[in-house]
Amino acid sequence: MRDHVAKQEHPLDLYLHVGDMAYPSGTDDEFQRTFFDVYQPTLRHTVCWASMGNHEGKTSKGLLGIGPYYDAYVCPKRGEAGGLPSASEAFYAFDYANVHFICLDSHDLDRAPTGVMAQWLRADLEKTKSDWIIAYWHHPPYSKGSHDSDKEAQLIEMRELIMPILEAGGVDLVLTGHSHTYERSMLIDGAYQTPTTADGVVLDDGDGDPHGDGPYRKSKGLHAHQGTVQVVTGNGGARVSRSGTSPVMKQVIVEYGSTILDVDDDTLTGMMVNRGGETRDLFSIVKQGSVVPKIVKSPRTLPLYTVAIDKPKVAKSELTPFPKNAVNLIKPNSAWDYLAGSHPPETWTTIAFIPNDSGGWKSGTVGIGYGDGDDVTELKDMEQKYTVVYARSEFELPPGEKEKIGELGLAISYDDAFIAWLNGHEVLRVGVKEGHGSSANQVASHEADGYEYFPLQNAKQYLTDDDNILSIEGHNTDVSSSDFTLDPYLLAVPRATP
């Protein structure tokens, strides 16, 4: 991003952050190491206007305005930079040129229309006289990236409860993060339903590209319900992924990058520049004259997202009975981060560890392995070279969900042995007598014969009300083995009710 800006000779005026800048727990040390040290060249001369993410929310509290996040930032709660005073650093507004910016706390404040934040939002929208309104926060109202906006409470409530207020106030653009991908919508209004639908909510189904279908058009000034563009810009750091396609999206790009905005009088231009400096998405909104918004019947939407798995379906083994009422916390044939051919640091099983390409980590759909023709991600170089493969998958539990779980269980098809950790704690060891990684020994032989079920005794105590990480270390008996398989998923059995 810095190289792109320098090449364009168009320096940044300000820096918006949509949260999760200090992994994994938002501590002072994590702020320094993972944000301030990394972005020092930009922060020296550019103001960062921050919003709090769920990771900062582990150690900071929006209601009280305390914690490392609030030590790191001094946000305008008295209207010092424009906008209506909020009396809170958790949500605030400011003006820059002809743009009114609104930052909200989607993590730990009341999102109800009668709540303090929503009431302030209405009053602030009524007061502003700017030409443009850009709102930003952490949890996206629309996403099918690493998070699903039709299933998670914070995302659903921001869509159902907060978006009606913003669109009534004439918002033009909404920026969010949390979901590790890049997604950008058509020009939409009134998309508050759950699950999200494109029917009756699209005002322009074009690509918004001034060199393509043309820019999105709205009336000059601020007007209610003339359309909003939604951008999920969660592709800055953690590994990017995709689970589907939100019906209102026009672009879904699973690449690392940054979103750059340029406002020139009556034209707002947005672009996503990837890590290589390539512009991967470009859209504009033009506000001129008087435009009468019209709903597009049968809007042109993106095709459904599917992952083609050209391998035989793995059946459940008859060796171990599966619980009948279990639900998936990590689905079969999900994408996992994996490391093959080298060994990670000791911290690799913790949520704080961030796998990256420079460390040799890749992303692949399980099963992972070679030799039997039934693995989706094939390790063609494993035979005669290495015997250990490391794999990780994140899953999120909303507040209160872990109390509803009676038992955790691992379903896995494996050859030959494995060790499993939950949030850094070993919870299961099968076929490896002692040690782990390069020091593991006495690895037993086992032939994969479908998914086997293993109850994870006492593992529930390690769950957290947020991001969790399941890590599995798969072993082959020796380098000359003719096959290897690691194909897991995670189950939760609901607690029995009286």
Is the predicted pLDDT of residue 486 greater than 80, yes or no? yes
Handedness of CA 215, 219, 224, 226 (dihedral sign): negative
| C-alpha span between 16 and 291 (Å, rounded) | 29
Q: What is the pTM of this model?
A: 0.86
Mean pLDDT of 167-186: 97
The mean pLDDT value for 380-387 works out to 95
pLDDT of residue 306: 79
Checking if the pLDDT of 157 tops 80, the result is: yes
Query: 3-class secondary structure for the chain?
Result: CHHHHHHHCCCCCCEEECCCCCCCCCCHHHHHHHHHCCCHHHHCCCCEEECCCCCHHHCCECCCCECHHHHHCCCCCCCCCCCCCCCCCCCEEEEECCEEEEECCCCCCCCCCCCHHHHHHHHHHHHCCCCEEEEECCCCCCCECCCECCCCHHHHHHHHHHHHHHHHCCCCEEEECCCCCEEEECEECCCCCCCCCCCCCEEECCCCCCCCCCCEEECCCCCCCCCEEEEEECCCCCCCCCCCCCCCEEEEECCCEEEEEEEECCEEEEEEEECCCCEEEEEEEEECCCCCCCCCCCCCCCCCCCCCCCCCCCCECCCCCCCCCCEEEECCCCEEEEEECCCCCHHHHCCCCCCCHHHCCEEEECCEEECCCCCCEECCCCCCCCCEEEEEEEEECCCCCHHHEEEEEEEEEEECEEEEEECCEEEEEECEEECCHHHCEEECCCCCCCEEEEECCCHHHHCCCCEEEEEEEEECCCCCCCCEEEEEEEEEEECCCC
8 A C-beta contact, residue 145 and residue 181: yes
Alpha-carbon gap, residue 244 to 232, rounded angstroms = 14
Q: Which domains does the chain have, with CATH numbers?
A: 2-287 (3.60.21.10), 327-494 (2.60.120.260)
pLDDT of residue 14: 96
pLDDT of amino acid 483:
94
**Rounded CA gap, 184 and 251, in Å?**
5
Report how far residue 111's alpha carbon sits from residue 113's, in angstroms, rounded to the nearest whole number: 7
Q: How far apart are CA 342 and CA 339, in angstroms?
A: 7
Minimum mean pLDDT among 136-150, 180-194, 231-245, 409-423: which range? Answer: 231-245
Main-chain dihedrals φ then ψ at residue 337, nearest 5 degrees: -80, 135
pLDDT at position 205: 98
Q: Span 427-452, mean pLDDT? A: 94
What confidence tens digit (pLDDT) does each residue in 16-45 have?
A: 999 999 988 899 999 999 999 999 999 999
Give the tens place of pLDDT for each residue, 333-364.
Answer: 999 999 999 999 999 999 989 888 888 999 99
On the question of a cis peptide bond just before residue 355, with omega within 30 degrees of 0, the verdict is: no
Closest by Cα among 390, 391, 382 to 484: 382
Summarize the confidence of residues 171-200 as an average pLDDT.
97
pLDDT value at position 478? 92
Predicted local confidence at residue 134, as pLDDT:
98
71-110 pLDDT tens trace: 999 999 999 999 999 999 999 999 999 999 999 999 999 9
429-441 pLDDT per residue, tens: 999 999 999 999 9
Q: Residue 5's pLDDT is what?
A: 81
Average pLDDT for 312-320: 84
What is the average pLDDT across 384-392? 97
Mean pLDDT (the chain) is: 94
* Burial status of residue 145 (CB atoms within 10 A of its CB: 0-12, 13-18, 19 or more): buried
The share of the chain scoring above pLDDT 90, in percent, equals 85
pLDDT digits (tens, 9 = 90+) for 190-240: 999 999 999 999 999 999 999 999 999 999 999 999 999 999 999 987 788
